[in-house]
Amino acid sequence: MLHGTIDLHIHTTCSDGQDTPEEIVDAYVQGGYTTIAITDHDSVDGVIRGLEAAKDKPIELIPGIELSSIEDIYDIHILGYYMNYDNDEFRKRIAFFKEKRKERAEEIVKNLNFLGLDIQFETVLRIAHGAPVGRPHIAEALLSEELIMTYNEAFARYIGDQGPAYVPKYKVTPAEAIELILNSGGIPSLAHPGVLNREEFIFELIEYGLVGLEAIHPLHTPEKQLYYEKLAKKYGLIVTGGSDWHGKDRRRSFKELINSRRVPQKTINDMKSFLKNRKRIEKELYRRP
């Protein structure tokens, strides 16, 4: 049994993951994890269910989210931790993002129909189970209707960024995503910077209020991880990390996940210290005449 094991990047069926929040909690408890964060795309429904499932269990579940944003032609994903997810403005914006995702998915399905693929949007919604609709749900729908042979084929042939059915996302800027997380009391961190591979954006995001950098990620080589850890230290950012878990059929098995690189306890300590200091500063500002 492992102890002190942390994963701060997990997806559930409340976005494009394959495991329910309840299954995630049970699996991570069995795996010996002590701290996890559910970070579904543009949704906190998994957080609410996960917190309920984690009651009276030896695990801390951090409220999290992964917001999709766009700068120029680049997808930039901003992770948020410890947000006040009941904040009215936060919930309104998340509901708006969910509606925009649905509109985009409808357009993609129309494009697929135009290409001769007999897929119904109702099938996609059924697969999404009420989660914010994304391309993975469309890929699963195509697979379920036997219109493709493999999940990855959907992206390679039809709905990938260069595919004939592709529709751009609704544009949320990184600055807006970071501001939303900060205004809800949370900690914004740049997800998998090695995938983005545009260092100039990191410096720009710091100006917007970025607090963390996800150095530890399965798509980062050990050399990349070390590089981003050093970069985070240089600019005073908190090193975050996680598995980016979507399910056993996406990248690797849970056994491989348990044996993957660790997120240190220092990450949690640094985040809690940041939150504590921010509250102290806010109190001092409030007391000023």
**Binning pLDDT at 50, 70 and 90, where does residue 248 land?**
confident
Same domain, 66 and 192: yes
Look at residue 161 and give its three-state secondary structure.
coil
Q: Is the pLDDT of residue 19 over 70?
A: yes
| Cβ atoms 67, 42 nearer than 8 A | yes
Report pLDDT digits (tens) over 110-132.
999 999 999 999 999 999 988 88
Which residue range forms the structural domain that includes residue 237?
5-84+172-287
Same domain, 133 and 225: no
Same domain, 112 and 246: no
- The predicted pLDDT at position 4 comes to 66
Strands, E, within the chain: which ranges? 5-10, 33-38, 60-71, 74-81, 187-190, 212-216, 238-241
What CA–CA distance (Å, rounded) separates 122 from 61?
33
Residue 167 lies in a domain: no
Same domain, 177 and 67: yes
Q: Looking at residue 223, which CATH number applies to its domain?
A: 3.20.20.140
Report pLDDT digits (tens) over 123-162.
999 999 888 899 999 999 999 999 999 999 999 999 999 9
- The predicted pLDDT at position 169 comes to 87
Q: Looking at residue 134, which CATH number applies to its domain?
A: 1.10.150.650
Same domain, 141 and 177: no
What CA–CA distance (Å, rounded) separates 167 from 110?
10
- What residue has token string 């680049």? 74
What CA–CA distance (Å, rounded) separates 196 from 87?
30
Q: Which of 159, 193, 208 is the last residue of a domain?
A: 159
- The predicted pLDDT at position 112 comes to 98
